Amino acid sequence: MKIILSLQEFEHLKKAEIEISPDIEYSEDEALEILEKVQDIEAMYSNYPDNDKNAYALSDIYAAIADKIYKMIPED
C-alpha cells in the first residue's frame, strides 16, 4: 500500500525523523510500524504542559496524520 499524505504532512514526519515516501509500496506490517511511530510522537507532544500551545498543535497534527494512515491500512 502507498501512504498518501499532503506535502505538509510529509514535512512534519520528516521533522520527526520518520522518513517515508509516497512512491513506496509498504506492507501492512510496515504501515503499522509507521503508524506506531507517528502515535508515539503524538503522545510525546500530548504530554507537554498544558500551557505549551505549540506542543498542543503538534499533538493534533500528528494525531490527524496517524488517523489518516490508520484508515489506509486494509482491514483483514
Total of domains in the chain: 1
Q: Supply the range of the domain harboring residue 60.
A: 7-72
Residue 2 inside a domain? The answer is: no
State residue 13's pLDDT score.
98
Domain annotation covers residue 18:
yes
Res 58: pLDDT: 95
pLDDT at 29: 95
| pLDDT of 52 | 84
Residue 50 covered by a domain: yes
pLDDT score of 32 = 96
Rounded to the nearest 10 degrees, the angle between the axes of helix 7-15 and helix 53-72 is 120
Distance separating alpha carbons of residues 29 and 49, to the nearest angstrom = 33
Could you report the average pLDDT of every consecutive run of 10 residues in the chain (76 residues)? 96 96 95 97 90 90 98 88
